[in-house]
Amino acid sequence: MKQWLMVVGMSTFSLFISAQEREIKKVEAAAAFLINALESGDRKALEKISSVNLNYGHSNGRVEDRNQFIEALVSKTSDFISISVSEQRIQVTGKNAIVRQRLDATIMDGGKPGEVRLNVLLVFKKETGEWKLLARHASRVI
Cβ contact 50:42 at 8 Å: no
pTM: 0.85
List strands edge to edge, sheet with 78-93. Answer: 63-65, 50-57, 130-140, 112-127, 96-109, 78-93
Q: How does pLDDT run across 6-65, given as a tens digit for each residue?
A: 545 545 545 555 778 999 999 999 999 999 999 999 999 999 999 999 999 999 999 999
Q: What is the CATH number of domain 2-140?
A: 3.10.450.50
What confidence score (pLDDT) does residue 20 get?
A: 82
CA distance 73 to 123: 20
Cα 54 to Cα 68: distance, rounded to the nearest angstrom: 10
